[in-house]
């Protein structure tokens, strides 16, 4: 693992700070600093949307205000994550150079306004960003208070302008030997959509081509590639300005528009913005959902990440912006730390006075000062992070992995197959995730490009796309003694969404000892039942429901563990096992209820003698357990997502570093123990 040590060498606590909004009132900065210190804040993100204040006219720069603020914060012990302001541009730029304005999928060019809407390709936009970034690096890159570059903000969206079309054509050209090869692999003979030359390639559009799945997939790949190319140029400009500081960019919750798994090399450390909707369903369900995304982000670089934004109270953009109940802000923040974050940052430090985010929650509200409930909760979180400071830069070791692959998601969702209403693909991943987590096991979520070695169990839910390179890894993994679980709707197409002939799971029929013959889609509310087969080595306490998708298998060596009970495929296998060389290959043919995954994975873990810090005991309902580790210690986080207190005994051979009194874990509270390794 390569680490990215940030200068303060401790867990960061702070958030987005946009003081350029009140430069005319210097007393606000003084008040803010007082509040930040009260709230145990040690780091703010500055300049994210400040281009118009940094370059008010083309070529006229003003860094004086930023110097004053950074100096002032540094004197008070507050560090700065400095942004490159490419996320929103000043008006003069698009007035003078309209090519920087994004063109939408219907080929209409946007007017000036909003943010995150530049053309990804425009040489002029890139040049203007380059000039400003280089100057920022020269001005602030060696300031002792600046610790990290925050590259742009939440990169996203796509541009369909002529410049982007040209770049897309070149991208496609570089990936195929000639247009005949492209036609073959994209299956363009269907509906007579054959291309005569690469010059005819256009991005997908509802006004034109939208049903050519390979084109859609290549376009999405291109958007990721072009976004990263843009980001690389941003970082190059900082390096030209002689800054050696590490760079991050902030990612978005399950954002589908960019393949974040390709962000590995461009950034030194990844970060993301987490805005869970608490208090709507069972808190544990929400915790699993955002816990999984923490793990997805951490698994990309397999090292600590940063929580770059979160809301200290309520947002203003969710359908209903509910206040976090007392304690929830700290619980949610410590969840990020438990899953491998080295920071808790908020949006925003001070609530804006006007425009579209004026009612978004903040550490310092419109009333100001330190008497409010929210700033006091933030201060408690700050104190907790100080108590946990030795956890900084520790890592997360996961004995199990789930394959979660962006390109697979893109292809599967676009494919027009057995269910267009909802494939419940994310839910399928969550079911495995929930089961592993409830067993107290840390989980990595990895792409098909990452290695499988080192994991004791690997689960692959709905791996619709499969390239040979990945199937080779699976084969080697199982051969060498691994336990591999794959589900329905896997290994169906190649990387251009072209179906495999002669049976699926195409590359792995021998490993699983079966073939998928048909797939049945169930209407909402319909169910089949899977019952355990008698006389196996398995012991399931009951039958389980299956919904949405049920495959009909033909076995070629595998044995049934559970069988369907209803419909014309009653008695067909629903779950199978197959010994392959030293390992085991398990196949789940239907969308089984979560309880099945729990009972199934518990038995697989038992067979492997694989236990988390909680051992064989069942973790109490609503409680989450996870660990981080460094050379000397394992840190065990136990978090209570119930609103009520539970009694809990200290784990053997541990010292408590945060939490518990009298063996009672209050509602929404966390306890952290450390154990010598
Ligand atoms: C995003 C943006 C921020 C802000 C917040 C509001 O994450 O990055 O600038 O708009 O949302 O929740
Ligand atoms: Zn463009």
Burial level of 359, CB count in 10 A (0-12/13-18/19+)? middle
Rounded-to-integer distance, Cα 84 and Cα 135, Å: 10
Query: What was the pLDDT predicted at 3?
Result: 67
pTM of the predicted model as reported, rounded to 2 decimal places: 0.98
Q: Which of 44, 273, 355, 362 to mutate to test the pocket of ligand 1 (most atoms within 8 A of CB)?
A: 273
Cβ(405) to ligand 1 under 6 A?
Answer: no
Closest ligand 1 atom number to CA of residue 154 = 8
Domain 403-446+458-608 has CATH 3.20.10.10: no
Rounded-to-integer distance, Cα 579 and Cα 80, Å: 55
Which residues share a beta bridge with 395? 629
Ligand nearest to the CA of 164: 2
For 53-70, the pLDDT digits (tens) are 999 999 999 999 999 999
For 201-212, the pLDDT digits (tens) are 999 999 999 999
Query: What was the pLDDT predicted at 562?
Result: 98
Contact yes or no for 161/102 (Cβ under 8 A): yes
Burial level of 8, CB count in 10 A (0-12/13-18/19+)? middle
Q: Is 357 a catalytic residue?
A: no
Instruction: Report whether pLDDT(461) > 70.
Output: yes
Instruction: Report whether pLDDT(104) > 80.
Output: yes
CATH fold group of domain 12-160+245-391: TIM Barrel (3.20.20)
User: Which of 397, 425, 435 has the alpha carbon at shortest distance from 492?
Assistant: 425
What is the pLDDT of the chain when averaged over all its residues?
Answer: 97
Whether a cis peptide bond, with omega within 30° of 0, leads into 348 is: yes
For 336-385, the pLDDT digits (tens) are 999 999 999 999 999 999 999 999 999 999 999 999 999 999 999 999 99
Q: Quote the ligand 1 centre to 226 CA distance (angstroms).
A: 23
Residues of the chain with CATH 3.20.20.80: 12-160+245-391
List 139, 309, 377, 669, catalytic entry: 309
Task: Over range 82-100, report the average pLDDT.
Answer: 97
Query: What was the pLDDT predicted at 5?
Result: 79
Q: Which two tokens stand for residue 507?
A: 């590359």
Query: What was the pLDDT predicted at 564?
Result: 98
Rounded-to-integer distance, Cα 291 and Cα 429, Å: 13
Distances (CA, A) of 176 to 181, 185, 380, 654: 6, 9, 57, 58
List 139, 154, 434, 669, catalytic entry: 154
The neighbour count for residue 332, using CB atoms within 10 Å, is: 27
Residues in the chain: 677
Task: Over range 4-10, report the average pLDDT.
Answer: 86
Residues of the chain with CATH 3.40.50.880: 403-446+458-608
Q: Is 551 a catalytic residue?
A: no
Query: What was the pLDDT predicted at 6?
Result: 86
């Amino acid at each position: 693992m390569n680490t990215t040590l940030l200068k303060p060498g401790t867990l960061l606590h702070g958030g987005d700070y946009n003081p350029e909004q009140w430069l005319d009132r210097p007393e606000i900065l003084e008040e803010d600093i007082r509040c930040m210190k009260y709230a145990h804040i040690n780091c703010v993100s500055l300049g994210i949307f400040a281009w118009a204040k940094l370059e008010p006219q083309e070529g006229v720069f003003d860094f004086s205000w930023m110097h004053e603020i950074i100096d002032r914060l540094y004197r008070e012990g507050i560090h700065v994550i400095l942004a490159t302001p490419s996320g929103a541009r000043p008006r003069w730029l698009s007035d003078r150079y309209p090519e920087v304005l994004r063109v939408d999928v219907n080929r209409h060019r946007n007017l000036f306004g909003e943010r995150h809407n530049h053309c990804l390709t425009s040489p002029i936009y890139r040049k203007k960003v380059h000039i400003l970034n280089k100057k920022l690096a020269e001005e602030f890159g060696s300031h002792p208070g600046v610790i990290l570059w925050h590259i742009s903000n939440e990169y996203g969206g796509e541009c369909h302008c002529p410049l982007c079309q040209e770049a897309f054509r070149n991208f496609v050209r570089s990936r195929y030997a000639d247009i005949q090869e492209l036609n073959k692999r994209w299956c363009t003979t269907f509906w007579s959509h054959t291309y005569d030359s690469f010059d005819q390639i256009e991005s997908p559009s509802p006004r034109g081509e939208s049903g050519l799945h390979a084109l859609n997939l290549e376009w999405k790949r291109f958007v990721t590639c072009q976004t990263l190319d843009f980001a690389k140029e941003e970082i190059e400009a900082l390096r030209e300005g002689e800054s050696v500081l590490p760079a991050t960019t902030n990612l978005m919750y399950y954002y589908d528009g960019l393949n974040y798994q390709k962000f590995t090399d461009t950034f030194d450390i990844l970060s993301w913005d987490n805005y869970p909707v608490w208090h709507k369903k069972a808190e544990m369900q929400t915790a699993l959902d955002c816990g999984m995304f923490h793990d997805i982000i951490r698994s990309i670089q397999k090292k600590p990440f940063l929580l770059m934004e979160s809301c200290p109270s309520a947002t203003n953009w969710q359908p209903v912006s509910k206040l976090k109940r007392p304690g929830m802000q700290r619980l949610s923040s410590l969840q990020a730390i438990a899953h491998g974050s080295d920071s808790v940052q908020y949006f925003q430090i001070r609530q804006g006075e006007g425009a579209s985010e004026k009612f978004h929650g903040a550490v310092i509200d419109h009333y100001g000062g330190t008497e409010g409930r929210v700033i006091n909760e933030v201060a408690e979180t700050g104190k907790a992070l100080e108590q946990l400071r030795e956890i900084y830069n520790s890592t997360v070791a996961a004995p199990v992995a789930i394959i979660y692959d962006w390109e697979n998601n893109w292809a599967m969702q676009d494919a027009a197959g057995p269910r267009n209403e909802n494939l419940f693909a994310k839910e399928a991943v969550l079911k495995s995730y929930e089961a592993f987590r409830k067993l107290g096991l840390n989980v990595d979520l990895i792409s098909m490009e990452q290695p499988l070695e080192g994991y004791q169990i690997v689960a692959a839910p709905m791996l619709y796309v499969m390239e040979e390179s990945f199937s080779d890894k699976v084969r080697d993994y199982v051969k060498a003694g691994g336990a591999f679980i794959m589900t329905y709707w896997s290994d169906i197409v190649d990387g251009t969404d072209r179906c495999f002939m002669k049976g699926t799971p195409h590359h792995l029929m021998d490993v699983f000892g079966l073939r998928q013959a048909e797939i049945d889609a169930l209407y909402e509310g319909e169910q089949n039942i899977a019952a355990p087969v008698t006389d196996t080595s398995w012991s399931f306490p009951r039958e389980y429901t299956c919904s949405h998708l049920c495959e009909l298998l033909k076995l070629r060596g595998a044995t049934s563990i559970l069988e369907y009970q209803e419909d014309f495929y009653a008695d067909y296998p629903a779950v199978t096992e197959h010994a392959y060389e030293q390992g085991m290959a398990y196949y789940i043919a239907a969308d089984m209820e979560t309880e099945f995954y729990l009972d199934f994975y518990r038995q697989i873990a038992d067979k492997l003698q694989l236990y988390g810090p909680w051992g064989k005991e069942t973790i109490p309902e609503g409680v989450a357990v996870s660990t981080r580790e460094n050379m000397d210690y394992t840190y065990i986080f136990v978090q209570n997502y119930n609103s009520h207190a539970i009694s809990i005994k200290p784990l053997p051979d541990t010292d408590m570093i945060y939490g518990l009194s009298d063996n009672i874990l209050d509602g929404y509270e966390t306890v952290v123990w450390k154990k010598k390794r």
